[in-house]
A = this chain, B = another copy of it.
Amino acid sequence: MTMVIDCHGHYTVLPKAHDAWREEQKAAFKAGTAAPAYPAISDDEIRETIEANQLRLIRERGADMTIFSPRASAMAPHVGDQSVAVKWAQVCNDLIGRVAALYPEVFAPVCMLPQSPEADLTSSIAELERCVTQMGFIGCNLNPDPSGGYWTDPPLTDRWWYPLYEKMVELDVPAMIHVSAAANPVFHTTASHYINGDTTAFVQFLMSDLFKDFPTLKLIIPHGGGAVPFHWGRFRGIALNNGRPELDEIIKNNIFFDTCVYHQPGINLLAEVVPADNILFASEMVGAVKGIDPKSGHYFDDTKRYIDKSPRLDDAARKKIFEGNARRVFSRLKTKAVATA
C-alpha cells in the first residue's frame, strides 16, 4: 500500500478571529500604534475550518496526509516591517502547529518565515528554529521576493541567503520556494506571480554552484516547476551552452517539482521530462483554483486523478511521487510515520 502524501497544502480558510486580527495588526502599523493582543481561538474553531475544507477534500480525494503551511498569499512580507512580520509569522505558524497537533496522522506542519524586504534573515532563522525544534515542523516556505513583485532581494544563490541555508541543513529541513501576494499591479498573484517566482528561482539554481556549497540542501519548486517542464529543452540548451550539466544532473539530489498542474496534458508533460525521483505529489488545495472543470467534470485541483491516469507513469513511479520522495525530502516526516504506523 502506497501512502498518498500531499506536499503542498495551505491553511486557506481560517478562523475569522485570526483574519480579523491581521487587519487590526495592519491598521495599527499604519497608525503607528501597537497591535492588539492576538485573540483566543478554540480548538473547535480550528476543527471547524479544517473539517469543512482540507480534511473533507483529503478524504474525498483519497489522500492520506498533507504537508501543511500558512496561506501563501497572506504571508505578504511587503506589508509592515520586520516586527510586524515576526508576530504575523509566529501566530500563523502557531495555528499550523495546532492543526498538526489536532490531526497528527493527517497534517505535518511547515512554517512560513518572517521575511521582510528591508530585513536580514536573523528573524527568519530564529523562527525556523523555533518551529522545528519546539513544535516539530518539518520544513519551511521560502519567499524569493519579499517585495511582492518588485524583485528587490538578491538572487537565492547569493551568499546573502547562506545563513538560512546553513540552518536548514543543520536542522535537515527542506524549503518550498513560494512567493506571496503580488503588490505590483502588473502581476496576478496566483496566475502569473506564483508561476514566475518558480521559473525565476529554478534558473537561479541552474546557473549557480549553490549545491556544491550545500550538497544536502533540498528545495521544492511548486506549481510543477513554473514554466520549467514546458521549456525543458530551452533550459537544457541554456545550461549546456553555459557549461552546466544536464538538468537531470543539476536537480538530482536538490531540486524537486510538485504536481500542482491542473490538467492532464500538463501532468503528462511533467512526468515525461522530469525524473520521477524529483516529483512530489501535491494539490495546493484549497488554493489557487477552486471549482470544477466543466470539461472534465472534476475539480481542477484534484491532481491525484491526473497522476493516476498519466500514461507516462508506472506503479513504481507513482509510489515515489505519492510517498517515497516526500519521505526522502522531508526527512523529519519519518518520526511521525513510525509513530503513527
B269 pairs with A273, CB closer than 8 A? no
B262 pairs with A151, CB closer than 8 A? no
* Interface size band for A: 35 or more
A294 within 8 A of B: yes
A87 within 8 A of B: no
Binds B, one of A117-125, A135-143, A230-238: A230-238
Residues from chain B with Cβ under 8 Å of A151 in the complex: 149-151, 184, 186-187
Which of B145, B154, B230, B260 meets A266, CB within 8 Å?
A: B230
Residues from chain B with Cβ under 8 Å of A200 in the complex: 186-187, 192, 196
B289 pairs with A230, CB closer than 8 A? no
Residues from chain B with Cβ under 8 Å of A144 in the complex: 186
B231 pairs with A203, CB closer than 8 A? no
Residues from chain B with Cβ under 8 Å of A293 in the complex: 233, 236-237
Residues from chain B with Cβ under 8 Å of A167 in the complex: none
A80 within 8 A of B: no
A129 within 8 A of B: no
Residues from chain B with Cβ under 8 Å of A185 in the complex: 154-155
A84 within 8 A of B: no
Residues from chain B with Cβ under 8 Å of A187 in the complex: 151, 200, 203
Residues from chain B with Cβ under 8 Å of A224 in the complex: 230-231
Complex CA distance for A186 and B231, rounded to whole angstroms: 19
Q: How far is the CB of A144 from chain B (nearest CB, A)?
A: 7
Complex CA distance for A7 and B316, rounded to whole angstroms: 43
Which of B192, B229, B289, B291 meets A203, CB within 8 Å?
A: B192
A266 pairs with B231, CB closer than 8 A? yes
- Name A197's closest neighbour in chain B (CB-CB): B196
Residues from chain B with Cβ under 8 Å of A150 in the complex: 150-151
Complex CA distance for A260 and B202, rounded to whole angstroms: 20
Given contacts A192-B200, A227-B226, contact A232 B263 (CB under 8 A): yes
Sample (22) of A-B pairs whose CB atoms are under 8 Å apart: A149-B151, A150-B151, A151-B151, A151-B184, A151-B187, A154-B186, A155-B186, A186-B200, A187-B200, A190-B238, A191-B238, A195-B234, A226-B227, A230-B269, A231-B262, A232-B263, A234-B300, A236-B262, A237-B288, A237-B289, A237-B290, A241-B291
Given contacts A233-B266, A238-B289, A240-B291, 20 further A-B contacts (CB under 8 A): A144-B186, A150-B151, A151-B184, A191-B203, A191-B207, A192-B200, A224-B231, A226-B227, A230-B230, A231-B261, A231-B262, A232-B265, A234-B288, A234-B289, A236-B263, A237-B288, A237-B289, A237-B290, A241-B290, A263-B273
Q: Which residues of A contact B (CB under 8 A)?
A: 144-145, 149-151, 153-155, 184-188, 190-192, 195-196, 199-200, 202-204, 206-207, 223-224, 226-227, 229-238, 240-241, 260-263, 265-266, 268-269, 272-273, 288-291, 293-294, 300-301
Q: A-B pairs with the 3 shortest C-beta distances?
A: A233-B263, A233-B262, A227-B227
